[in-house]
Structure 1
Amino acid sequence: MKISTVEKKGITPEVVEMVCSLVGGIPWPERRQAMADVTNRLLDGKPRVAEDVFGWGRAPVEMGINELRTGIVCLNDISTRHKPRTEDKYPQMIEDIHEIMVPQSHADPHLRTTLAYTNMTAAGARRNSGNRDRQSLPVLDGQQQDQRFPDGRHRSLAE
């Protein structure tokens, strides 16, 4: 019977919890190197076992092992990887939407809240945008895939 690396090294659940909490408090890219160091010392340099035991991704552990081996630290700016918010990309859009929606809005019929309600959909607001530049508006989900047969039936691009 094959003995796992964890059993062979005598790693207890308490040790796993302590290592995870200590490594979790280290900022990147030092965290990646700490994960690699723990993997090298406790798990014989096996990133797949580290993924199973500690719940870390294999890719960062492998990258950390390579960083320790070569001495070259890989830099990546994770903060720039997010998709920019629509409000930041189109700052005028909020005012334009309010301009379109406010005349169509009405108060709660029972006057229980101060919220205003409207029956207009996003597509309706887009149609009512009128003379605004259509190229500056973001694309609605599925708008590019929407096609219709000549008799009016809907057809997706996958058909």
Structure 2
Amino acid sequence: MPVELTDSLKKLLKETAQQLKGAEKRKFMAQTVMALGHGGQSLAERELGWNRVTISKGIKELTTNITCIDNYRSRGRYKAEIKLPNLLEDIKKLVDLQSQIDPGSKSQPLSKRLSAAQVRHQLIEKFGYNQEELPTLETIRVKLNDLGYSLKRVSNIQSRKSTHNQRNF
């Protein structure tokens, strides 16, 4: 006979699971599913929104008495654009506003007047980013390079007409 979960019991189980982390959470989920009996995993997945893979891992840990160690540190960081989805677009807007066309080359990309530090500072000022949430200067420099911007010092460029006049003297 299938077990039916009341709304108050569902709420209690969900809240308890949310308060636990790692192995403790998996153990709680496994014990709950085992108490529900046959079809408990499907019921927990459907009614409580629990992941069946996590439940299975918890059951294996419970039955073997071997706890899996969560190695979150080895997973690496999320890319800056995952945490801040508008970051790349905002960088493009900033840099494109302060671009200068190199008159000597028609196919050459635009020369930029900004350093990575200036881009970071302007992201805070103009787009309201927090100091803590923004990536480091090195990461911003890498993102600028990935976007195709080469941060080189821009020399004072004279127009061709004034350069032509200087040659006549």
Which has the higher Rg, Structure 1 or Structure 2? 2
Larger relative helix fraction: 2
